[in-house]
Structure 1
Amino acid sequence: MALYAKIAAMKRILIVKTTSMGDVIHALPVVEDILRHVPDAHIDWLVEASFADIPRLHPRVQQVFTVALRRWRKQWWRRQTWQEIAAAKRAVGAQRYDAILDLQGLVKSAVIACWADGPRHGYDRQSIREPMASFAYQHRYAISYRQHAVLRMRKLAAMALGYALPDDLPAYGLTAEVQPARQAAFLALHATSRDSKLWPEARWVALGQHYAAQGLQMWLPWAGNHERARAERIALQVPNALVLPKWSLQQLASHMTQARFAVGVDTGLSHLAAALDLPVVAIYTDTEPAFTGVAGGHRAPAINLGGKGQVPEVAQITTAIAAMPGGIFARD
């Protein structure tokens, strides 16, 4: 009865997870876990403005507060910066929360979590990358690093709110306005934040040609001009390949759901594809995916290939896709 009373009392909850895209997506299953145990919970989110579209895609996230920490640090002397900080603090502090969950676990996230009114929950000093952050929390939890980030955050929320950790695969709960399918296609998520994470263009071309022979169009999204140039170079060598327009994150999400599957490098869009229940093969060349790799949900699988200093072959990708359950080549 005492445990039930604790869960029932947690009606208004603030999640603090600011960056980056993949990390914000990894936190989404926490929303689903909370709603499973507190169906009428009011859940708000505090996030970096450039990633605010991610929690906004979840229909049960009520209010999304935004910060611009990266820009503020570079322009700290400007009056406008201090006005924006003051406005953000007022907005976040305008209501009382039953629980504030700092899923980021950094000094910067701990500081902005203090803007909110309510008990703060976070990792203890031994479970956090920046131990100083733990001093900001009234409630601290020991949660091992030796597990995937999705599981770590789900554990933190369960311990903070007093429910048993679900033992199922994560559910992301995203909804996107679905656009009509153009034709059978797959997503080629070729762009990433560092050149060391890229997969060679020649292998993207070979992959696109492989699936073009099976009637699948290759869709190539992009953001910056250098990414567009790479997409155009690949598309020139792949029959019927399509370089997508420059869409917002929400626009792209609505079109991603029409693809059969996604192949992507270590990029936030690979995580977004998984959160939208697309089968995903993620390619790692400069990082290890064990703790932060793409985490498939309960509806679609995700396979992480490669690792630091590895460059997976095209055949590894096609073999992994062919082995995926669910008949991804038979979707309507």
Structure 2
Amino acid sequence: MSVRVLVVKTTSMGDVVHTLPAVEDLLRVHPDARIDWLVETPFAAIPLLHPGVNRVICQAWRQWRKALGQRATWQALKEARRQVRATPYDLVIDFQGLVKSACWALQARGHRVGFGIGSSREALASVCYHQQVTVPRAMQAVERYRRLMAAALGRSFDASLPARFGLAVPSECAWQPPARPYAVLMPCASRVEKLWPLPHWLAVARQLREAGLSLVVLWGNPAEEQLARQLASPSGAEVPPLLDVRACASIIAEACLAVGLDTGFTHLAAAYGLPTVGLYCDHDPHLAGLTGSDPARVYSLGGKGRPPDVNDVQVAVALALAQSSSTQRGG
């Protein structure tokens, strides 16, 4: 009889991407596992891209918490709780480690596993689990999640097994880049502290164009569209219309190289195996740096209060270009 598992990882996009290798580890041990995933609605497209995920249960706590006085909010909460409780699980694994995620895990029927006190992001969450797992908080996110999965399965973590993400490439997209091969640029972020100077982006765009690549600049709201067009206009890059996560995933997966800020789409590019250069301006990458199936193809530069130097970025882009050329030749 196949094991039934509920993955609780609700936000944000990069963190959801980082949980995928743990799901792959589960499927190595239990190829016929039935996996459900509880996630915030805006990020539901990510687990849906994994063929091993059976069902995605959406919740919208970020939206609901702003409207707790409305009847519709409580009806939506009730429906999400009904879906979580509908299936008995062998394992309910909370990869988030927050009180809010632990509360969702408590709604499910099954053996609850999560990070122990000192390992979870919020200590109170740990009391909600039947099994508390100690994993150093200073460990990179992908390895933390894989170690939690190993413990939930009653196994030792095998560091020799590479991280695999198992993402499928969406078969259709409403918009296609007009020219190939192309690189994807992701200069937009949710907070101004994460941004990298536009002149630096223009220098990188020029480098990629001189290497013979077309460019696509992704964006997600009107302010980001303005920035995308400021980059695209002098560099000849394409700016697509507003696309959903699935369509962006299709464009990213078919690119030959990606350069982006510390955002979910940059982590998605690394997960698809692209040579990817990540620019960190407001976080240190040692905990949540880019991770791909081949660590030699990802570059995480900069840190909190230490925006990466444009020359260092161009060196990394040159290395990524060489790797991309080798891949296109079949090397």
| TM-score (normalised: structure 1) | 0.93
CA contact (8 A) 1:277 1:300 kept: no
Q: How does 1:121-132 map to 2 (within 5 A)?
A: 121-132=113-124
> Equivalent residues in 2 for 1:9-48 (5 A)?
11-48=3-40
Q: Distance in 2 between matches of 1:327 and 1:104?
A: 34
1:169 paired with 2:162, answer yes
1:15, CA displacement in angstroms?
0.3
Q: What does residue 3 of structure 1 align with?
A: none
Q: CA offset at residue 72 of structure 1?
A: 1.0
Q: CA RMSD in A?
A: 1.7
Q: Which runs of 5+ in 2 are unaligned?
A: none
- Counterpart CA distance in 1 for 2:21 and 2:30 is 14
1:139 counterpart residue number: 131
Residue 230 of structure 1 pairs with residue 236 of structure 2:
no
Task: Report what 1:286 is aligned to.
Answer: 282
Q: Does 1:313 align with 2:309?
A: yes
Determine the structure 1 residue equivalent to 2:49.
57
AA at the equivalent of 1:170: A
**Closer, same or farther: CA 209–178 of 1 in aligned 2, 3 Å:** farther
Cα deviation, residue 189, structure 1: 0.7
Pick which of 173-182 and 286-295 moved more. Answer: 173-182
Q: Any unmatched runs of 5+ in structure 1?
A: 1-8
1:71-90 superposed matches below 5 A: 71-90=63-82
Shift of 1:157: 0.7
- The corresponding residue for 1:6 is none
- The one-letter code matched in structure 1 to 2:306 is Q
Moved more, 172-181 or 285-294: 172-181
Indicate the SS of the match to 2:114: strand
Show CA shifts across 1:36-90 (max 9, x none): 0111111110001111011001011000001111111100011111111111111
Q: Distance in 2 between matches of 1:164 and 1:38?
A: 15
- Correspondence 1:207 to 2:204: yes
SS for the counterpart of 2:17 is helix
Residue 221 (1) aligns with residue 218 (2) = yes
Aligned pair count reads 323
Deviates more, 1:205-214 or 1:25-34: 205-214
* Aligned mates of 1:134, 1:77 — CA distance in 2: 29
- Aligned pairs for 1:235-274 within 5 A: 235-238=232-235, 240-274=236-270
Aligned mates of 1:125, 1:327 — CA distance in 2: 42
Query: What one-letter code is carried by the residue in structure 2 that aligns with 1:47?
Result: V
Q: 1:171, 1:298 within 8 Å by CA — same for their partners in 2?
A: no
> Is the Cα contact below 8 Å between 2:85 and 2:107 reproduced in 1?
yes
Retained in 2: the 8 A contact 1:45–1:55? yes
Shift of 1:27: 0.4
Instruction: Give 4+ residue runs of structure 1 displaced > 2 Å after superposition.
Output: 177-182, 321-327
Q: Distance in 1 between matches of 2:148 and 2:18?
A: 13
In structure 2, how many angstroms separate the alpha carbons of the residues matched to 1:84 and 1:314?
47
The Cα shift of 1:299 comes to 7.9
Distance (whole Å) between structure 2 residues aligned to residue 136 and residue 10 of structure 1: 25
Matches for 1:185-196 after TM superposition, within 5 Å? 185-196=182-193
In the alignment, is the contact (CA less than 8 A) between 1:149 and 1:292 conserved in 2? yes
Deviations 1:95-123 (A, max 9, x none): 10000000000000000111110110011
Task: Tell me how far apart the structure 2 counterparts of residues 82 and 70 of structure 1 sit (CA, whole Å).
Answer: 14
Q: Structure 1 residues 320 and 250, CA, compared in 2 at 3 Å: closer, same or farther?
A: same
How far off its partner does 1:161 sit?
0.9
TM-score by length of 2: 0.93
Per the TM alignment, residue 302 of structure 1 is displaced from its structure 2 partner at its CA by 1.1
- List aligned pairs for 1:108-119, cutoff 5 A: 108-119=100-111
> Offset at 1:287?
1.0
> In the alignment, which residue of structure 2 is the partner of 1:297?
293
For residues 264 and 324 of structure 1, what CA distance do their matches in structure 2 show?
Answer: 13
Identity, in percent, stands at 41
Q: CA shift at 1:178, angstroms?
A: 4.8
